[in-house]
Amino acid sequence: MAYPDGLLSEDEYVVVHTHPHWKMLVVPVVLFLIVVGGGSYLAALAAELPWNVPLWIALGAVGGVLIIWWTLAPLVRWRTTHFVVTSRRLMVREGVFTRTGVDIPMWRINSVRFSHGIVDRLFGCGTLIVESASDEPLEFDDIPKVERVHTLLYREVNDESEQDDQERWERR
């Protein structure tokens, strides 16, 4: 899925558009299975009781709330988080009801690093660390194919600085 072209400037194009790695959905899926399995087990136990229908309704309501809170909310959060590298800037957009965003122009980026432990390497993701003119480096966790994204972002930063150098040279 491409990032909406209406949010880009004239000669800007998308280099990378990704969501966080799917590994952040492992725990919500496991919790979903536990809630469904536990609810089914408790519903089967409640079948023997004379007041089983109100108990089933209560179990369904509690199970529904837990599934929405522990599974559906993280899934929507994952789906609405965008990490986008364009030819001119790095953009991160997060949120469903309250959207937040970070835009870093390429010319403000000083360095780009990545890190990934053994689990991240098995899953093929990692943390991208971007140092810009701001006080603290920004860390973006669970970036899929972080080494590839690092390389592409580094190339775009270098291309931007080379273009700036060339424009300054031509003005002299």
Second-level CATH architecture of 83-171: Roll (2.30)
* Dist. CA 169–CA 172, nearest whole Å: 5
List of residues 6+ apart from 160 with CB closer than 8 A: 87, 88, 106, 107
Residues 77/24, Cβ–Cβ less than 8 Å: no
For 79-105, write each residue's pLDDT tens digit. 999 999 999 999 999 988 898 988 999
Predicted confidence band of residue 114 (pLDDT cuts 50, 70, 90): very high
Record the tokens describing residue 83, joined without a space: 């990490």
Q: Is the pTM value of this prediction over 0.85?
A: no
* pLDDT recorded at residue 168: 52
Give the tens place of pLDDT for each residue, 23-35.
Answer: 999 999 999 999 9
Domain definitions of the chain by residue range: 25-77, 83-171
